Amino acid sequence: MDVLFVGLSPELILPASFPAHLATVRQGGNVPADPWDAVFVRWTGEKEDVLAQTLKRSASSLRHGGQLGLVALPPSPEDEGPLDELLTPFGEGREVNRSSDRGLLVVVRNLAAGRQDLVGLRRCLSALSANVGRLEALTSDVREGAADRRPIDGRSIKEIVGHLGDMDRDGYLACIHAILDDSDPVETPIDADALLAKRDHNGRPLSELVTRFRHFRYQSAELIDNLAEDDWLRTGANPDGRQSTVADIVRTWARVEEEQVSELERRLM
């Protein structure tokens, strides 16, 4: 996610004070363009009219569905009401996060239409497509005995590869299909552990699981690579059960899958 900090250094914000769905954002992420996924503005006690103008400028750089946050560093005010009132004109879905050091972050989501980072979305699609080749290269020399060995604190290599295919077809893509087709939403949140148990990936050859993933991914790319801008902005349930735009689902998909493929890469080094 592309995150802009206004008037403060990201190192001053404890990760625990981020909203849960932003907790894995790389702090200090810097992409010199807009629209942004999130903009955090520091509140230093300045007059409300001055802060309102700063918020207005910041909100204009957010994409549809992006988040605008006011950050009060410790010691923050006990009453977040005034901060909430300042954010009200710029979004909905107010969320308040207090950290152990008495810092405060109040966040709303910008739902104004017409702002979309299609360049960033194409970057996500490219990453999702590239993971087919990455996965094939990573698993080409893995022996079957090593691939189905489950470590104490995690999943086997086969289970990781199988999970990627499960979430492609029964997770992210199923949610996107439901949104685009105006059909009944899939049951969310997606129970990934139940999918793993039902599919028993350890009982299948690793090459078959990789081929399955490649097949799913090519079909997925064919659908989402040609979406119109209005389709990116359509909203429905994501695999976690929260309301998200199709664009947000694809962004999350690319980020989570990158983490899982990187975990597999570390396992095989």
Q: Is 127 found in the same domain as 18?
A: no
What's the pLDDT tens digit per position in 234-246? 889 999 888 888 8
Please say whether the beta carbons of 176 and 223 come within 8 A.
yes
Do both 169 and 69 map to the same domain?
A: no
Residue 38 neighbours by CB under 8 Å, 6+ apart: 1, 2, 3, 4, 22, 25, 62, 66, 67, 68, 69
* Sequence-ordered list of residues with C-beta below 8 angstroms from that of 220, at least 6 positions apart, any chain: 128, 168, 169, 172, 173
Q: Last residue of some domain: 89, 109, 129? A: 109
* Residue 87 belongs to domain with CATH number: 3.30.110
> Which domain, by its residues, includes 236?
118-268
What does the pLDDT read at residue 107?
A: 84
pLDDT in tens, 78-100: 777 777 788 888 877 778 888 77
> Of 218, 223, 221, which Cα lies nearest the Cα of 124?
221
- At 218 the pLDDT is 93
Give the confidence band of 123 by pLDDT, cuts at 50, 70, 90: confident
Share of the chain above pLDDT 90, in %: 22
Cα(222)–Cα(229) distance, rounded to whole angstroms? 16
Residues ≥6 apart with Cβ < 8 Å to 195: 163, 166, 170
- The CATH number for 156's domain is 1.20.120.450
Burial 50-84, CB ≥16 within 10 A → b, else e: ebeebbeebbebbbbbbbbbbbbbeebeeebeebe
CB count in 10 Å sphere of residue 20:
10
Helical packing angle, 246-268 and 173-180, nearest 10°: 170
Residues 33, 56, single domain; the answer is: yes
Preceding omega of 239 cis (within 30 degrees of 0): no
pTM summary value:
0.61
Q: Which of 57, 92, 109 is the last residue of a domain?
A: 109
Task: Tell me how far apart the alpha carbons of residues 190 and 175 are, in angstroms, rounded to a whole number.
Answer: 10
Indicate left, alpha or beta for 249 from its phi (over 0: left) and psi (-120 to 50: alpha): alpha
Asked if 31 and 160 sit in the same domain, the reply is: no
Mean pLDDT estimate for the chain: 81
Whether residue 14 has pLDDT greater than 80: no
Total domains present in the chain = 2
Residue 30's pLDDT is: 43
pLDDT at 26 over 50: no
Domain co-membership, 92 together with 10: yes
With 0-12 / 13-18 / 19 or more C-beta atoms within 10 angstroms meaning exposed / middle / buried, residue 117 is buried
pLDDT at 7: 76
pLDDT, tens only, 239-269: 988 888 888 899 889 988 998 999 899 888 7
With residues binned 3-state (H G I as helix, E B as strand, rest as coil), the percentages for the chain, rounded to 5, are: 50, 15, 35
Does residue 207 share a domain with residue 138?
Answer: yes
206 and 227 assigned to the same domain: yes
Backbone φ, ψ for residue 36 (5° rounding): -100, 155
78 shares its domain with 143: no
Percentage with pLDDT > 70 across the chain: 85
Q: How do residues 155-190 score in pLDDT, each as one tens digit?
A: 899 999 999 999 999 999 999 999 999 888 788 888
